[in-house]
Amino acid sequence: MSAATETVRPAAPKGSGGVVQSVRDSLVIARRNLIRMTRIPEIVLFGLIQPVMFVVLFSYVFGGSVSVAGDTSPQVYREFLMAGIFAQTVTFATAGAGAGIADDMHKGLVDRFRSLPMSRGAVLTGRTLADLVQTALTVVVLVVVALLVGWRAHEGILKTLAAFALLLLLGYAFSWIGALIGLSVRTPEAATSGGLIWLFPVTFISNAFVDSSQMTPWLQHVADWNPFSATVQACRELFGNPGVVDSPAWPMQHPVWASLIWSVLIIVVFRTLAVRKYRDAAS
């Protein structure tokens, strides 16, 4: 009589669980998305063209015709403008984030991730981190263009870096709004459209391109309490650029704190909603 041999398979390694596993999984997903971006350079290239066009067009078309604190000098307007262009650039990355997540959902990538022992929120966190890296690269190129058209920061390197940190934090916060939109629609095209429609009023009903004190009273109130305006105003203060308005609104009196509070609040709210939406879609 021969005895049947039994092969003992080793148990699958257990994840470290909790925060450690979530961070590790998020970095893996972020790396995956960054590699994908390098293989499709058109994504980065087209992402650079729009903000550069805005800098050139607004600087030379509106420069000299828009008054900033009573001064219509083109140089003054260019320095006033750049904080708004920087902020618009980081927030417009929201549409790309939403489209990318919608594309992953459409192609069934979520089903593949479901079969892996990974944190549910890591898929979205990794995607938003990768988008943050791409946004940072875009901002670096935009800074070079801004310097060429005459923009300067006057408050030293530390305050300048703090301003860019606030910009990237705002961009990261808005990318979670894009993530929620991407999870809520059926196609990447719908995510792109849905990601841009609401951004235009947010960025233009603000102090980004004109002094909000020149608006009608009710519109000025909306602009002064706009989270986008708070970051723009904080950057102007930290850069030492013109356009620090004398508004009674609390966000305009304390723009750095207002920018931080708004960005953190947006991240907390929309990350919670997006992760919940992702879990429902994956269940």
pLDDT digit string, tens, across residues 216-236: 889 999 999 999 999 999 999
Calculate mean pLDDT across residues 137-142: 89
pLDDT value, residue 176: 92
The SS3 assignment for 71 reads strand
Mean pLDDT of all residues belonging to the chain: 82
Calculate mean pLDDT across residues 266-283: 85
Range in 18-27, 60-69, 190-199, 261-270 the model is least confident about: 60-69
Contact status, residue 67 vs residue 93, Cβ threshold 8 Å: no
Residues in contact with 29: Cβ distance below 8 Å, sequence separation at least 6, in sequence order: 122, 123, 125, 126, 127, 130
Convert 232-255 to b/e letters by CB count within 10 Å (16 or more is b): bbbbbbbbbbbbebebebebbeeb
Structure token digits, residue 16: 């470290």
The SS3 assignment for 186 reads coil
pLDDT value, residue 190: 82
Q: Does the pLDDT of residue 90 top 70, yes or no?
A: yes
pLDDT digit string, tens, across residues 167-180: 999 999 999 998 89
Ramachandran region, residue 157 (left: φ > 0; alpha: ψ -120 to 50; beta: rest): alpha
pLDDT digit string, tens, across residues 66-77: 767 666 677 788
Greatest mean pLDDT among 16-30, 51-65, 180-194, 224-238 = 224-238
Between vectors from CA 67 to CA 65 and to CA 68, what angle results, nearest 5°? 140
Q: Where are the domains of the chain?
A: 21-282
Closest CA to 128 of 182, 64, 188, 191: 182
